[in-house]
Chains A and B, each alone.
Chain A
Amino acid sequence: RKEVEQDPGPFNVPEGATVAFNCTYSNSASQSFFWYRQDCRKEPKLLMSVYSSGNEDGRFTAQLNRASQYISLLIRDSKLSDSATYLCVVNMGNDMRFGAGTRLTVKP
């Protein structure tokens, strides 16, 4: 089993749609969780951290379920500019483990 697994996608959605990504992790001792965004041929950039209580940043909502060992990312009112690959990241000790990413394409 991979340490971090994501829906591979691709997700193709129209503008304005709501889309959700899930990610599961294998190490129950994982300490911190993140979603990174990576545009084509660019480096990953932090989108948001994921807190135990869940957190929201504008149109983006992240949730953590420690009991089931998964995190999720919800994007509301999708914009064309949201098209990218979303990487789930789990910190195991001081080492980040990245999922393979979920590709999202938002279409007009």
Chain B
Amino acid sequence: EAGVVQSPRYKIIEKKQPVAFWCNPISGHNTLYWYRQNLGQGPELLIRYENEEAVDDSQLPKDRFSAERLKGVDSTLKIQPAELGDSAVYLCASSLAGTSYNEQFFGPGTRLTVL
């Protein structure tokens, strides 16, 4: 069974440019998460989806970040415009919906470098 798929794996852009990350969760997983992980830190939740609904986006910097999960399957996270401080690994994870006890499965992440 395929795991969580993310692309691209690496992205280097100049500041003020836009960038987008794509995630395809494990089949059947209704809950999808986007995290940002800075070097030496744990993942920080940006947004959580239950199917196509964003149920928690309180940590998403809405002035420059946006996300969508139009059909309740794959998702896109966008930054426009990117800033130097956005350099990080962006992780997507998915889990079965329903309880807080479900394991989250992570994708390999997209490593973003903003120059």
Contacts and interface: CB of A to CB of B under 8 A. Distances in A.
Contacts of A99: 42
A43 B48 contact: no
Given A91-B101, A98-B44, 13 more contacts: A4-B42, A34-B103, A44-B91, A45-B106, A46-B103, A93-B100, A95-B45, A96-B33, A98-B43, A100-B42, A101-B40, A101-B41, A101-B42
26 contacts: A31-B100, A31-B101, A34-B103, A42-B108, A43-B91, A43-B108, A43-B109, A44-B43, A44-B91, A45-B106, A49-B101, A49-B103, A87-B42, A87-B43, A91-B100, A93-B100, A94-B55, A94-B56, A95-B45, A97-B45, A98-B42, A98-B44, A99-B42, A100-B40, A100-B41, A101-B41
Nearest to A91: B100
Range class of the B interface residue count = 20 to 34
B104 interface: yes
Interface in B25-59: 31, 33, 40-45, 48, 55-56
Range class of the A interface residue count = 20 to 34
A61 interface: no
Interface of A: 4, 31-32, 34, 42-46, 49, 87, 91, 93-101
Nearest to B41: A100
B34 to A, nearest CB: 12
B101 A32 contact: yes
Smallest CB-CB A-B distances: 8 pairs:
A98-B42, A43-B106, A91-B100, A46-B103, A32-B101, A98-B43, A31-B100, A100-B42
B48 A94 contact: yes
